[in-house]
Amino acid sequence: MSDANANIPHGFETLAIHAGQEPDPLTGAVVPPIYQVSTYKQDGVGGLRGGYEYSRSANPTRTALEECVAALEAGARGLAFASGLAAEDCLLRTVCKPGDHVVIPNDAYGGTFRLFAKVLDRWGLEWTPAQSGDADAVRRAIRPGQTKVVWCETPSNPLLGVADIEQLAGVAREAGALLVVDNTFASPYLQQPLTLGADVIVHSTTKYMGGHSDVVGGALVAADAELGEQLAYHQNAMGAVAGPFDAWLTLRGIRTLGVRMDRHCANAEKIVELLRGHKAVAEVLYPGLPGHPGHDVAVKQMKAFGGMVSFRVAGGENAAVEVCNRAKLFTLGESLGGVESLIEHPGRMTHASAAGSPLEVPADLVRLSVGIETAEDLVADLERALG
């Protein structure tokens, strides 16, 4: 935003289009340029022009994205990375050291679990799974003096569990730990965890933020400026930054995030209506259902219930796999959050790394990322897939 508008409150959609994205001062271009450059001419030794010297440290296109994401999440500092897992790795190695402990969700994303169990575990970072929707369970999992982070996904991937962010923030604060919330499933349009007491937000910007299945990226947003500076130091030192074209594509996606999320949510509700009454479906997992154990919390902290839907197939694992294989408009594929609808079998795909662990997902589970196609077409496709 320009200085003249910096102190004027703006709505989400206005921030998505304008925050960090002032028209180019040279040409007036209304879209931030792609600064596809590695190094910058300095105005004398140590005299950086606009603070730029080398694009690992900072790049104007990436700066625009970082400022925009920070504004959308109401944070002090935003940072853009090459992937969501790169963002997670930077965060954990910034705020933790070997011998520290983290409480993680018992239904976390498989890649997050793999980072803890197969990578950071060897570095000496200890972890304990707990049900994020149960504040007492999280409190019991904390090791006084050793726990540095309480990690939360809400809604969670792939079981669509809901955690009370404000309540968990209090639990973490009591323990002297940071509350980190993976806000990928909700996006900042539906939920702003920093306003509820979280310390850091994690995003896979590959998903709803980018929104078009054409870019991989990640982001961190810190509530505290000092922590933001520490994260920025490690971002530069570790180097897994978003490239300028990736940053530009993500910004392009963010500009329509609000209108896309409205359609994702509306379409998901129609899919849920089909699933609830279908004889081939044993259980529907969706925070918008009054019977969902986290429904009341979701009503309190979310604008709507999102475009992700999971369900368990009555015929078991093989039947679940067949549903995935029969779908046509729902493309069989990993990832989520794009304009096109996706279907997957988490146990064999995104969460295969959690097999045999406390985070193993049910074998009869199917996960949908409901896109923005015509809702009636999606309902008909899924009805055929269910047989």
- Enzyme catalytic residues: 56, 109, 182, 207
Q: What is the DSSP code string of 149-218?
A: EEEEESS-TTT-----HHHHHHHHHHTT-EEEEE-TTTHHHH--GGGGT-SEEEEETTTTTT-SSS---E
Closest CA to 240 of 250, 249, 231: 231
- Crossing angle of the two packed helices 225-238 and 84-95, in degrees rounded to 10: 110
Closest CA to 201 of 48, 50, 80: 80
∠ at Cα 260 (154, 33), nearest 5°? Answer: 105
Phi-psi label, residue 126: left if phi above 0, alpha if psi -120 to 50, beta otherwise:
beta
Return all residues near 62 (Cβ < 8 A) that are at least 6 apart.
55, 80, 241, 242, 244, 247
Distance from C-alpha of 268 to C-alpha of 342, rounded to nearest angstrom: 12
- Are the C-beta atoms of 264 and 81 separated by less than 8 Å? no
Give the CA dihedral 369, 309, 265, 324, nearest 10 degrees.
40
Distance from C-alpha of 70 to C-alpha of 222, rounded to nearest angstrom: 8
- The residue type of 241 is V
- Are the C-beta atoms of 34 and 244 separated by less than 8 Å? yes
Residue with tokens 């961190």: 220
- Crossing angle of the two packed helices 60-72 and 244-254, in degrees rounded to 10: 30
For residue 56, count CB atoms less than 10 angstroms from its CB and return exposed for 0-12, middle for 13-18, buried for 19 or more. middle
DSSP H or E run through 254: helix 244-254
Distance from C-alpha of 326 to C-alpha of 340, rounded to nearest angstrom: 17
